[in-house]
Structure 1
C-alpha cells in the first residue's frame, strides 16, 4: 500500500495543530502513543472479537472502518513526529485470529515506545495495515473514507 498522499495530509494537519500549541507542547509523541493505544482498544471493542461470552457478534462495518482510519492516522502522525515517513508497506494476510492481531498491535506499540526505531515503526504500520485485510477493508475503502472523515 502506498501511503504518500495520506502522509502529506497528516503532515499538513500536524503542522496546523502544532501552530496552535505553545512552545512547551510541541512534542506530542507521548500523547500520540497513548491516543493510539486508546483508539486501538476502541477498534477492538467495535469488532467485539474478544467478547467470547456473546453468541452473536455484529459490529457495524462503517463504525469499524471509521475507528480503523483513526488508528491509521495516529500511526501516520507518529511517523511524521519521528520523521519515519516510509510510503510503501507490505500488507500480509496473517494466519492468526483478530484477537491475536490486536494483542500483537499492543506489543508492537510497546516495542516502539521502548526502541522508537524505524524498524519497530515499520512493523507497527505493516501489522496495522494487515489488520485492514482481516477487517475486510481495501486500500480504496481506506483512502476514499479517509477523505470523507477528515475533510470536515
Structure 2
C-alpha cells in the first residue's frame, strides 16, 4: 500500500465523520468543516503522540515498568498515523508533496549532522 492509498482512505473516513457530525452530505459544508477544525486535528495529533509515548514508556526514566504490549504500541502508532494523514488532507497535501517535503528534510538532516548541528 502506498501513501496515496492511505490518504484516500483517511479522506473517506474524515468525510464520513463530518457528514455524521454535520448531519449533511453537502460537500461544501463538509470541506469547510474540515478546514475549520484543523486546530483541533493538530491538538488531537499531539495527544495521540503523547499516548504513543505513554505506551512505550520511553520518557519515564524513573519507572521500572517496561513498555506496553507490541500490539498496544502498534495501535497507538496507527492512531498517530490516522491523525497525521487527516492533517495532511486538511492542508491539501498530495502524495508527491509529502514525498518531496520528506526527501528535502531528510537530506537537510544529514547535512546538519555532517556540519555539527
Q: Which runs of 5+ in 2 are unaligned?
A: 23-28, 107-117
| Bigger Rg over Cα | 2
* Equivalent-residue separation in structure 2 for 1:42 and 1:87 (angstroms): 29
RMSD: 2.9
May I ask how many residue pairs the two structures share in their alignment? 95
Taking the aligned partners of 1:68 and 1:41, their CA distance within structure 2 comes to 10
Q: Which piece of structure 1 moves more, 69-78 or 8-17?
A: 8-17
Q: TM-score, normalised by structure 2?
A: 0.68
1:65 equivalent in alignment to 2:74: yes
**Which structure shows the bigger proportion of residues in helix conformation?**
2
- 1:85 maps onto 2:94 in alignment: yes
Q: Does the alignment pair 1:52 with 2:66?
A: no
Deviation by residue 1:87-131 (Cα, 9 ceiling, x = unmatched)? 5867xxxxxxxxxxxxxxxxxxxxxxxxxxx94xx48xx8xxxxx
Runs of 4+ deviating beyond 3 Å: 21-25, 87-90
TM score, norm. by length of structure 1: 0.53
Q: Tell me how far 1:86 sits from its aligned partner.
A: 1.7
**1:116-135 pair list within 5 angstroms:** 119=101, 122=102
Partner of 2:10: 10
